[in-house]
Each structure stands twice: as C-alpha cells, then as structure tokens.
Structure 1
Amino acid sequence: MASYLKLDHIGKTFTRGAQKSEVLRDINLSIDKGEYVSIIGHSGCGKSTLLNLIAGLTEVSSGGVLLENKEVSAPGPDRAVVFQNHSLLPWLTVYDNVKLAVNKVFANRSGAERHDWIMENLSLVQMAHAKDKRPGEISGGMKQRVGIARALAMEPKILLLDEPFGALDALTRAHLQDQMMEIHARLGNTMIMITHDVDEAVLLSDRIVMMTNGPAATIGEVLEVPLERPRKRVDLASDRMYLKCREAVLKFLYERHRFVEAA
C-alpha cells in the first residue's frame, strides 16, 4: 500500500555563485493519512527547508515529494502552511483574512456557503466572537488561532506548522497545544510540525523525526510515541512512557548530536 505522503531520497543544495551549500541529504520518510508528525533538531539542520519542500515553496535538488502518488512541484491548497509569524494582513478583519483563502479555494461555492464555512472555522479555533476585529486589536495567541483557521478553511490534505507556537508565552502556548490536539482529533488532518520544544513534540505527536546537525543534515532517528489519545498534559507529567519518549529525544539532541556553535 502506497504512503499518503512520501519523501523519497530528498536532497537540497543551495547555490550562490560558485558556492554550494548542501542543506539536506537523502531524506526518506513515509507519513500516513491522519498522522501527527513532529520534526525536531538543532538550529541549522534544515527543518524549515524540509517543510518548504513539502509545501512546494522550494524545489528539491534530488529525489521527490509524493502526495497520494503525485509529485509535489509547486504550492497548492492541499498543503496549507502556518508560520511562526501569523502573516495576517493588518488592514483586514479577522473574518476577511480567512475569507481571502476561502474565496481563492472555493470560488465555485455560493456566498452564503463561504460565509458559513468561514464562521465554522473561526468557531473551531474559538475566534468567531472576534470576527470584526483587526489583527492589531487582538493578542498574539488570537492572531495565531486566526492563522490556523485560515489554513484549515482551505481543507488541506496536509497542515504544515512551522514552529506555530514559538513566539507565544508559556500559558498561551499550552492552551493552543491543547486546542491543536482537539482539532486533530475532530478533523483527522495529517499534520507535520517543526518544533524546538521536546515536551511539545512528545505531547502532540504520533511520531517524532529527529534530524542530525547540518550541513547535509538527514534523519537520524524516528521515534514512535505510543501514548493513547486523547492526551492530557497533567496526567502525562508523571507517565512512564511520556518520560521515556522525552528522555529518548533529549539523549538524541544533547548527547549524540550536540549542537556546536561556530566560533
């Protein structure tokens, strides 16, 4: 049976004049439909580059990205990206920021259908009450929830999350993590998330992909996270399997692949 998403011997090299920089080498990974996969590694290991390759924002140098056996060669609404920066247009309301994506992807639907779909997705992230506010009038966590709503409103096959909670305070981050688990449970989206946070990766993921250090980074290990869902962070704090998974990621990052800063 073919994989839902397959990264097949991917390599990526950037060229500037006579200089070449090999960022990724021989990346092989298969992801099933509905999986939540986190990618973790030290700065400079090519995590964001890998996400951009899946999104079609950057071309692969070798190998290929296959989604449902079709090669990914350009951006598309079947792969929505949520960045660390919410990327909302400041002059538009919350509603209109989501409407932009909905109008682009679902131009064939009636105005009433599109309105209902926008409101459904804002309600999903608990932002329907703020639909008439502009980004400057809401908090950072609320902006990120709108960004997630906009991405989900495109009905993507894969939701790509590039450190979506990295710029938020701890309490807001925890709340959005819980909300993301609820959304994943309800919708069953395939989600791929970049993170630097070990606890976040273990809490949210079905599998954690651990990258070796760059240049020419590759996948060092893939860790299964066999924790039952739904997951509650308070209950997991002392759970043996949670602690075992957390220890495995920490050992990989800080013992086997310790980050060494350039002098």
Structure 2
Amino acid sequence: MAMQPFLDISDVTVAFGRSRVPVLNGIDLKVARGEYVSVIGHSGCGKSTLLNVVAGLLPASGGGVVLDGKEVSDPGPDRAVVFQNHSLLPWLTCYENIRLAVDQTLSKSLSRAERHEWTMENLALVRMTHAKDRRPNEISGGMKQRIGIGRALAMKPKVLLLDEPFGALDALTRAHLQDQVMAIHAELGTTVMMITHDVDEAVLLSDRIVMLTNGPNARIGEILEVGLARPRDRLALVADPRFIAARAAVLEFLHHRHAAPGLAAA
C-alpha cells in the first residue's frame, strides 16, 4: 500500500471574481515529510497564490490541500508562514514577538516556565539571543527575518511556508540567512515549501524545484529533482557539475521555454 504524502496539493485551481481564466489551473503536488520544496516561476504566475492556499489564507476554487491527513480549510498553527516583509509587531521586543506566538499556540501543552525556555531556545536557534530585548526598529532587516523565522518555528508547525523570505535583503545577508535555514532544516527535519524567483537559491536549498508556467492559467510545467547530498556548502557547489546542471535546467525552463511575459515577443 502506497504511503500517503505528508502534504497533498490535489488538483488546485484558483480563479478570482468573474474571470473565466484561472490564475492557477490543476496544480498537483505531493510533498514528503521533511522535504524542502521550492516553487519558482515568473511574476504573476501564481506562486504566492499557491502558498496562500496551502496556508489556508485563500480558498481554492477547485481541488484542495490535505496536510498530515487533515484537510486545510483555514489558517492554523500547523502551517507557519514567513513573508518577505517580516511582519513583526513593532511595539514588542524580539523575545516578546516570539513569545506571543508560543503563548497563542502552545499554552495548553507547555507551562509558563516551559514556554519561556522554548522562546529562548528559538531565539538561540536563529542566533538572536543577544538581541532579545531590542524592538524591530533597533535591528537590521536580516535580523528581523531571523526573528520571523524563529517565531514561525516556535509554533512547532508541521510545514514551514516561506514566501520569498530573503527577497528584500542584500546579497551577503541573504547568503547568511540561506545557510542558517539550511542548518535549521538539517537539525529539525522541518517540511518546507518556499516561493522564490532566485534560481541559485532554489537549487542550493531544495530537494525538488517545482517550475510553474506563466500565468494566468499557470500549471506545473516541470519538477526537477535536485540530486545534491546534504549538508551543502555553497562554495563547493559552485563548481559541482550537478549544481551547474540543475541550475541550467531551471534557467532553460524559465528563459527559453517559458520566457517572462512581454519578453517572448521582444
């Protein structure tokens, strides 16, 4: 008997208003427990729309999502989302931003002292213990994203949903944070679904890369298995033929077979 996928996105179609042309059409994706999957495609192809359906923030017009045997119909603590914009509460300290999520999701299972310990543990996990008493306006953009990731992980989610989480950061900060997410994924075995437009990022972090065709009416055009062993070292991978081949395959899909809308006619 075949094992049920941990995250099962089944024939998901999303249409807005009276439009006859859906944004997404018949998206089928099965994700195993502990797998890191990236979704990539040009702007307007519905990447974030797909993530919002999995998060329960947006209803599908057709099809559905099942996580660990339970149908997704609304937002829940089993799915934690980290957006490009950190969305921290500005009047709370870094500690308080994480503690709030812990109190809201784990108050029935952990005592007050245990919730404090768990908050501190997640601050340490994203290397932000030193800034626990600072407010968001007192820390850098990269540090804000680290707190956002720490807050998401502190909820003990079944799946971590990342919506271009490094997109607004400078290259050096982005690289540091990517390395940190790789380390956290290795340590915790968290199931991750990430939206990105960065090809190198997708190849570096993912087990599989899901490539969407252009929207509207976007579909899964191709799924690439990234055959790179873990742990991964970004410097060693630069010259690795498997990394180069995976990167070339994604670029070929995006820029030759499915060029960005407007560029194809140029």
TM-score (norm. length: structure 1): 0.97
Contact 2:5–2:32 (8 Å) recurs in 1: yes
Match of 1:145 in 2: 146
Aligned partners of 2:146, 2:21: CA distance in 1, in Å?
A: 35
Partner of 1:10: 12
Q: Which runs of 4+ in 1 moved over 4 A?
A: 18-21
Length, aligned pairs only:
261
Are 2:255 and 1:254 equivalent residues in the alignment?
Answer: yes
> After superposition, where does 1:1-263 map in structure 2 within 5 Å?
1-15=3-17, 18-108=18-108, 109-261=110-262
Q: CA deviation at 1:107?
A: 1.3
- Structure 2: state its 5+ residue gaps: none
Q: Which amino acid aligns with 2:6?
A: Y
Write the deviation string for residues 205-252 of structure 1: whole angstroms up to 9, x where unpaired. Answer: 000000000001010000000100000000000000000000000000
2:56 partner amino acid:
G
Aligned equivalents of 1:159, 1:106: Cα separation in 2? 17
Report Cα offsets for 1:122-159 as digits up to 9, x if no partner: 00000011000000000000000000000000000000
Q: Is the 8 A contact 2:7 2:67 kept in 1?
A: yes
User: Structure 1: which amino acid aligns with 2:114?
Assistant: E
For structure 1, the residue ranges without an aligned partner over 5 or more in a row are none
Residues 7-55 of structure 1: per-residue CA shift (max 9 Å, x gap): 111100111xx44551000000100000000000000000000000000
Residues 42, 214 of structure 2: 8 Å contact kept: yes
- Residues 90-138 of structure 1: CA distance to partner in whole angstroms, max 9, x if unpaired? 1110000011100000112211100000000000000011000000000
Q: Give me the identity figure in percent.
A: 66
Which amino acid in structure 2 is aligned with residue 189 of structure 1?
T
CA deviation after TM superposition for structure 1 residue 261, in Å: 2.9
Letter in 1 for 2:70: K
SS of corresponding position for 1:14: coil
TM-score, normalised with respect to structure 2: 0.96
Provide the rounded CA distance (Å) in 1 between the counterparts of 2:26 and 2:111: 45
